[in-house]
């Protein structure tokens, strides 16, 4: 099957789960998949340097129902990334190269968004990886490194010429980090100048914002990042809204609490109780928001180390509200 046909099959839903380091792990992908059987899900960022040393079974974990799934790699050494991509091919339906992460510890090593300052190296990475795998290859990047370096159109064209089959673009520069507002209209410039599918990323936090993003960006689909935190049903609700015009309301507090308990339990099953509970602390603020006393309650829960006590505390919220 030609690469373009494979990509179309992978993005048939027009919604994807964007990669988030330390966030889009096996458990979160599983929760998203309970609602949406068709959306493309992407793993958390996997360092090619680390994977080259140790084949981490937690970070590569997946179930059969995780397909369609893309595994994201970071790095700046073409052959090392290619070797890791070849290893991951047995798990993945697509390989994604991270060229958009803005975090200091990533860009200082010429990884992530720093590659937008080195398009020749970025193209070499794509060509080398493409030569080693038989599944589609995608690239995720930003508008540019700074507002004075908005090279996203040229960069996207270079990635396409090097062999990329699919693009996800975050509508911010590296200098913005995650602040300000994503510029969806600029993404339309990229869409007009490449032939491969483009998904828009940034500030897609509801079905309505997804529809607005698609209208402004003219992209083929949307990649949902932080909007899915505390609401793994969001991707399904976006699918229903943009594909069928059906608006499904956000989850109730009771539904959020039940999902949070399930989230913590799945992390415990994956990592053990101590590590699993600590890992989940970052998610608690996203699930528990918008009701009286939420801040105080979140502060108490992130200090708890016993799953039964956490569940008892969460159940107590429903008694009050």
In this prediction, residue 90 carries a pLDDT of: 93
Is residue 168 located within the same domain as residue 314? Answer: no
Encode pLDDT of 200-215 as tens digits.
999 999 999 999 999 9
Q: What does the pLDDT average to over 239-264?
A: 96
Does residue 82 sit in the same domain as residue 188? Answer: yes
Same domain flag for 167 and 302 = no
235 and 300 inside one domain:
no
Is the pLDDT assigned to residue 321 strictly greater than 80? no
Of 54 and 93, which is predicted with more confidence?
93
Same structural domain for residues 222 and 271?
Answer: no
**CATH number of the CATH domain containing 266:** 1.10.1200
How do residues 254-276 score in pLDDT, each as one tens digit? 999 999 999 999 999 999 999 99
Considering only residues 293 and 129, tell me which one the structure prediction assigns the higher pLDDT.
129
Q: Under a CB-based contact definition with an 8 Å cutoff, are residues 180 and 172 in contact?
A: yes
Range of the domain at 287: 253-320
Confidence of residue 319 (pLDDT cuts 50, 70, 90): confident
Please tell me the distance from the alpha carbon of residue 284 to that of residue 287, in angstroms, as a whole number. 5
Kindly report the average pLDDT of the chain as a whole number: 94
End-of-domain residue from the set 244, 262, 295? 244
Rounded (10°) angle between helices 119-132 and 152-162? 30
Q: Can you give the CATH number for the domain in which 153 is found?
A: 3.20.20.70
Q: Which residues are catalytic?
A: 101
Q: Which residue has the tokens 């990047």?
A: 141
Q: Is 205:174 a contact under the CB 8 Å cutoff?
A: no
Total domains in the chain come to 2
* pLDDT one-digit tens code per residue, 141-190: 999 999 999 999 999 999 999 999 999 999 999 999 999 999 999 999 99
* 224 and 269 within one domain: no
Output the pLDDT for position 1. 58
Instruction: Clarify whether residues 300 and 159 are in a common domain.
Output: no
Exposed e or buried b per residue across 269-291, where buried means at least 16 C-beta atoms within 10 angstroms of its C-beta: ebbeeeebbebbeebbbbbbeee
State percent of the chain over pLDDT 90.
Answer: 89
- For 205, residues 6+ apart whose C-beta sits below 8 A from its C-beta are 226, 227, 234
Same domain, 19 and 154: yes
Asked whether residue 136 falls in the same domain as residue 239, the answer is yes
pTM summary value? 0.95
Indicate whether 311 and 175 sit together in one domain.
Answer: no
Q: Looking at the structure, do residues 239 and 91 belong to the same domain, yes or no?
A: yes
The answer, yes or no, to whether residue 134 has pLDDT greater than 80, is yes
List alpha helices for the chain, DSSP H. Answer: 3-10, 26-35, 48-53, 78-88, 104-107, 119-132, 152-162, 184-193, 207-217, 234-244, 253-271, 273-280, 284-287, 294-301, 307-320
Same domain, 104 and 236: yes
Binned at pLDDT 50, 70 and 90, residue 2 comes out as low
């Amino acid at each position: 099957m030609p690469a373009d046909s494979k990509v179309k099959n992978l993005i048939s839903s027009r919604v994807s789960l964007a990669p988030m380091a330390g966030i889009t792990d096996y458990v979160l992908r599983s929760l998203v998949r309970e609602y949406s059987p068709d959306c493309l899900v992407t793993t958390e960022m996997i360092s090619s340097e680390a994977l080259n040393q140790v084949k981490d079974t937690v970070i590569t974990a997946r179930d059969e129902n995780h397909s369609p799934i893309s595994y994201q790699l970071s790095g700046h050494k073409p052959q090392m990334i290619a070797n890791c991509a070849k290893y991951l091919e047995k798990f993945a339906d697509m390989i994604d190269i991270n060229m958009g992460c803005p975090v200091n510890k990533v860009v200082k090593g010429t990884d992530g968004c720093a590659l937008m300052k080195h398009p020749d190296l970025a193209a070499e990475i794509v060509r080398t990886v493409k030569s080693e795998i038989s599944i589609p290859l995608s690239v995720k990047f930003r508008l540019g490194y700074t507002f004075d370096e908005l090279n996203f159109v040229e960069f996207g064209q270079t990635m396409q010429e090097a062999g990329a089959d699919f693009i996800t673009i975050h509508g911010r520069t590296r200098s913005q980090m995650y602040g300000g507002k994503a510029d969806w209209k600029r993404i339309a410039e990229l869409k007009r100048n490449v032939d491969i599918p483009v998904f828009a990323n940034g500030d897609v936090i509801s079905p309505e914002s997804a529809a607005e993003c698609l209208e402004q960006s003219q992209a083929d689909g949307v990649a949902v990042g932080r909007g899915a935190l505390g609401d793994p049903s969001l991707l399904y609700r976006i699918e229903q809204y943009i594909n069928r015009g059906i608006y499904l309301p956000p989850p109730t507090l009771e539904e959020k609490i039940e999902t949070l308990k399930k989230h913590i339990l799945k992390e415990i099953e994956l990592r053990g109780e101590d590590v699993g509970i600590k890992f989940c602390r970052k998610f608690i603020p996203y699930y528990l928001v918008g009701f009286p006393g939420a801040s105080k309650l979140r502060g108490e829960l992130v200090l708890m180390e016993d799953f039964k006590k956490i569940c008892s505390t969460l159940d107590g919220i429903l008694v009050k509200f």
